């Protein structure tokens, strides 16, 4: 999939009337709860290269997400699931609620830093500085040695890189191995690269297997996240194709941000 096709699919993932975002194509409402993080990063990337269309759609989504209700993670003009609540501020809308941790507010902050006209109600600067302070240690521990500890810390990989992104801090040498073949992380580390992305088509099944070496991005599991899976995990497709694709937000983000790095 080239960048033009990926961009077209990302544009179709936003509903211009409701400002909703869909993590799959064709568009549908769902329980996807990481929109603030990844649409925020998308918004920032679009602003950086001057893609007004995507930037505006992403801003509209982020603005409504913060307005529809406290700690909103997703919203829709219909009740998607039993735990969705009616909005008290925007009649006719429903939302799902869960307190934000770090990645969501960090994605929002990146969008603002790149020019989005939004407000960040979350105080995360001290968390970001703390994570950056221990970044060198994170790189060593996540690589292995103490297996149970590396498994525990790897869940914070996204947040660790987002902390370096919004503080504009240099990624420590010990973390550079985590950047391999991951365009977003390589951008944060200032590394120019080309990444081949996985087929975003969904199937009825699949399984993963861990290996000793970093798996090329094209062989990792396609997902709705900019980065989700452990980079030493290979994805094996099972089952049959589903007439649905993940929105290739990770490809647009990676290609846009990589294009801003000079050779």
DSSP string, 196-241: PPPP-EEEEEEEEEE-SSPPPGGGSPP-SSSS-S-TTEEEEEEEEE
The rounded Cα 242 to chain-centroid distance in angstroms is 23
Q: Is 208 left (phi over 0), alpha (psi -120 to 50) or beta?
A: beta
198 lies in some domain: yes
pLDDT < 50 stretches in the chain: none
Q: What does the alpha-carbon distance between residue 105 and residue 118 come to, in Å, rounded to a whole number?
A: 12
pLDDT number for residue 90: 97
Q: What does the alpha-carbon distance between residue 103 and residue 81 come to, in Å, rounded to a whole number?
A: 24
pLDDT number for residue 252: 97
170 lies in some domain: yes
189 lies in some domain: yes
Domain count, the chain: 1
pLDDT number for residue 230: 83
206 lies in some domain: yes
Structure tokens that stand for 83 in this block: 């735990």
Q: Percent of the chain at pLDDT above 70?
A: 100
pLDDT number for residue 145: 66
74 lies in some domain: yes
* pTM (2 d.p.): 0.94
Quote the domain boundaries for residue 242: 3-258
120 lies in some domain: yes
pLDDT number for residue 215: 92
pLDDT number for residue 14: 98
CA angle 199, 34, 19 (to 5 degrees): 90
Q: To 10 degrees, what angle do helices 157-167 and 125-133 make?
A: 110
- Pick from 26, 28, 11, 13: nearest CA to 76: 28
Q: With contact defined as beta carbons under 8 Å apart, do 72 and 88 qualify?
A: no
161 lies in some domain: yes
**3-class secondary-structure state, position 93:** coil
- No. of H helices and E strands in the chain? 10, 6
263 lies in some domain: no
Q: For residue range 99-152, what is the model confidence (pLDDT) as tens digits?
A: 999 999 999 999 999 999 999 999 999 999 999 999 999 999 998 767 788 888
Q: For residue range 61-80, what is the model confidence (pLDDT) as tens digits?
A: 999 999 999 999 999 999 99
């Amino acid at each position: 999939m080239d960048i033009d096709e990926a961009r077209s699919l990302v544009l179709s993932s936003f509903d211009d009337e409701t400002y909703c975002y869909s993590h799959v194509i064709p568009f549908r409402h769902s329980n996807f709860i990481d929109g603030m993080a990844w649409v925020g990063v998308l918004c920032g990337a679009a602003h950086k290269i001057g893609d007004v269309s995507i930037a505006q759609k992403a801003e509209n989504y982020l603005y409504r997400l913060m307005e529809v209700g406290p700690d909103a993670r997703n919203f829709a003009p219909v009740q998607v699931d039993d735990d969705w609540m009616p909005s008290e501020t925007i009649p006719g809308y429903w939302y799902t609620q869960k307190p934000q941790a770090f990645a969501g507010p960090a994605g929002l902050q990146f969008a603002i830093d790149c020019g989005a006209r939004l407000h960040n109600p979350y105080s995360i600067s001290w968390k970001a500085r703390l994570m950056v302070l221990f970044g060198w240690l994170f790189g060593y521990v996540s690589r292995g040695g103490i297996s149970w500890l590396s498994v525990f810390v790897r869940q914070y990989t996204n947040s660790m890189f987002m902390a370096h992104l919004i503080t504009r801090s240099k990624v420590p040498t010990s973390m550079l191995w985590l950047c391999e073949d991951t365009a977003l992380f390589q951008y944060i580390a200032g590394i120019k690269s080309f990444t081949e992305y996985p087929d975003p088509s969904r199937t009825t099944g699949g399984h993963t297997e861990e290996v000793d070496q970093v798996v090329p991005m094209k062989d990792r599991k396609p997902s709705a996240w900019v980065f989700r899976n452990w980079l030493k995990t290979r994805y094996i497709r099972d089952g049959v194709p589903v007439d649905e694709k993940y929105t290739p937000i990770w490809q647009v983000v990676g290609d846009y941000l990589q294009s801003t790095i000079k050779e």
